[in-house]
């Protein structure tokens, strides 16, 4: 890597390949590959994104705003914020604890633990909802007991939170584990040798080193928590104004043929997605900035 980069005067990125006769593609190949890949990108990624905003504003700003301040929409937005406000911190704490365990210590069964943490990624969101119905639903394990005590989990807010916690479970841990693995244990050990307490070590050394990955993990976790549809749909019961989150509200409006309103609420979620991607890009840029000065000749 290093040798090739210096041979070409330290060219970075694609320029490195385009300046090298051995890795340069003929112009017509580049043209063909670019038009195929960018055409695909345009059709399958960009167009759906643009469509959301265009459809949302099709009937004008007044309809757009009316759809967002209507009481059911407001309560859906409030529930979505509440759900994320509970699910994200829980998974944040879990993500840090799991990453700390996995990357700073050696123990048996570590590989299995990593696989288990990934499990929610490979489970269909519908099943994620179903499992909580089986545990807490009227016919579930704790259903009768909960019923007696007047506690409602399924078709109520706690169920929505639980399902959301499940589907966003691995996000923070997945961002932290590879980074902390790469950073190793030396800096923490150095802090201890220098007399730092466990908490000082974590706050002054570990946390600053992982803050950008942590931020991105949280943002991604948050986007998924606010946008989750399948799992929440199973446990929500779709009670308007009570157990409807934003994505569920979008579905109801859409099924009632209130397309402009549906897209108006959807556009808020799309904006959230764009913010998430912007943060991701920024975090990656930061990471590359801190990585580059390391290459001292």
Partner 1 sequence: MAHIRAHRVLPGFGLSLGFTLAYLSLIVLVPLAAVFLKTITLTPEAFWQTVSAPRVVASYRLTFGTSLLAAAINVVFGLLLAWSLVRYRFPGKRLVDALVDLPFALPTAVAGISLTALYAKNGWLGQYLEPLGIKVAFTPLGVLVALIFIGLPFVVRTVQPVLEDLDTEIEEAAASLGAGRWQTVWRVVLPTLLPALLTGFALAFARAVGEYGSVIFIAGNLPMVSEITPLIIITKLEQYDYTGATAVAAVMLVASFVLLLTINGLQGWTDRRAARNG
Partner 2 sequence: MSIEVQDIRKTFGRFVALDGVSLDFPTGELIALLGPSGCGKTTLLRIIAGLEWPDKGRVLFDGHDASHRDVRERQVGFVFQHYALFRHMTVLENIAFGLRVKPQGSRPSEADIQRRVGDLLELVQLGWLAHRYPAQLSGGQRQRIALARALAVEPRVLLLDEPFGALDAKVRKELRRWLRRLHDELHITSIFVTHDQDEALEVADRVVLMNKGRIEQSGTAQAVYEHPATAFAYSFLGAVNRFAGRVDGHSLRIGGGAVPLCESNAADGEEVIAFARPHELHILTGEAQQGIPVTVSRVLLGGATARVELTGSAGSNGHAEPQHFEVELTRQQLSDLDLQPGQPVRLTSARLRVFPAARE
Q: Name which of residues 164 to 203 contact partner 2 (CB under 8 A).
A: 186-187, 189-197, 200
DSSP 249: H
Residue numbers 123-152 binding partner 1 by CB under 8 A? 123-127, 130-135, 137, 139-141
Residue 108 CB contacts under 8 Å (≥ 6 apart), including other chains: none
Q: Which residue has the tokens 């167009």?
A: 47
Among 6, 10, 34, 211, binds partner 1 (CB under 8 A): 34
Q: Which of 204, 241, 256, 285 binds partner 2 (CB under 8 A)?
A: 204
The only residue of 48, 147, 184, 208 in contact with partner 1, by rule CB under 8 A: 48
- Could you tell me which of 153, 176, 173, 171 has the C-alpha nearest to residue 163? 153
**Tokens found for residue 294:** 């390391």
Residue range at the interface with partner 1 (CB under 8 A); choices 68-76, 207-215, 246-254, 289-297:
246-254
CA distance 76 to 249: 7
Interaction partner, residue 209 (partner 2, partner 1, none; CB < 5-8 Å by kind): partner 2
- Residue 110 CB, shortest distance to partner 2, in Å, is 14
Site for partner 1 in 169-188 (CB under 8 A): 169, 185, 188
Pick one of 79, 165, 264, 283: the residue that binds partner 1 (CB under 8 A): 165
Question: Whole-angstrom Cα distance, residue 246 to residue 238?
Answer: 11
Contact 239, 159 (CB under 8 A): no
Find which of partner 1, partner 2, none residue 47 binds, CB within 5 to 8 Å per kind.
partner 1
How far, in Å, are 43, 87, 123, 174, 232 from residue 128 at the CA level?
A: 31, 15, 7, 19, 9
Burial 12-37 (b: 16+ CB within 10 A, else e): eeeebeeeeeeeeeeeeeeeeeeeee
Other C-beta atoms closer than 10 Å to the C-beta of 11 total: 16
What part of residues 198-217 is at the interface with partner 1 (CB under 8 A)? 198, 201-202
Interface with partner 1 includes 82 (CB under 8 A)?
A: no
CB of 297 to partner 2, least distance (A): 8
Q: Which long-range contacts (CB under 8 A, 24 or more apart) does 253-256 make?
A: 253/67
- Taking residues 207 to 246 in sequence order and writing x for each that binds partner 2 by CB under 8 A, - otherwise, the string is -xx-------------------------------------
Would you tell me which residues interact with partner 2 (CB under 8 A)?
186-187, 189-197, 200, 204-205, 208-209, 290, 293-294, 296
């Amino acid at each position: 890597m290093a040798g090739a980069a210096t041979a070409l005067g330290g060219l970075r990125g694609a320029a490195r390949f385009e300046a090298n006769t051995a890795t340069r593609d003929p112009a017509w190949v580049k043209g063909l590959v670019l038009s195929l890949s960018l055409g695909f990108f345009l059709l399958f990624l960009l167009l759906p994104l643009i469509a959301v905003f265009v459809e949302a504003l099709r009937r004008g700003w007044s309809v757009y705003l009316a759809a967002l301040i209507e009481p059911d929409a407001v309560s859906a937005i409030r529930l979505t914020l509440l759900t994320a406000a509970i699910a994200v911190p829980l998974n944040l704490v879990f993500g840090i604890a799991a990453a700390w365990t996995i990357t700073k210590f050696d123990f048996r069964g570590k590989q299995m633990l990593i696989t288990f943490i990934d499990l929610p990624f490979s489970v269909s969101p519908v099943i994620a909802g179903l499992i909580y119905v089986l545990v807490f639903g009227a016919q579930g394990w704790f259903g009768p007991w909960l019923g007696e005590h007047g506690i409602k989990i399924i078709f109520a807010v706690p169920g929505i939170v639980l399902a959301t916690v499940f589907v966003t479970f691995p996000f923070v841990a997945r961002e932290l584990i590879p980074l902390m693995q790469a950073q190793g244990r030396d800096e923490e050990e150095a802090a201890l040798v220098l007399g730092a307490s466990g908490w000082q070590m974590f706050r002054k050394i570990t946390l600053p080193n992982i803050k950008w990955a942590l931020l991105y993990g949280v943002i991604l976790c948050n986007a998924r928590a606010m946008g989750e549809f399948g799992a929440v749909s199973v446990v929500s019961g779709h009670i308007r104004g009570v157990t409807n989150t934003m994505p569920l509200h979008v579905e109801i409006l859409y099924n009632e043929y209130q397309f402009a309103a549906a897209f108006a609420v959807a556009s808020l979620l799309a904006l959230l997605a764009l913010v998430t991607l912007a943060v991701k890009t920024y975090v990656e840029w930061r990471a590359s900035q801190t990585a580059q000065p390391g290459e001292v000749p």
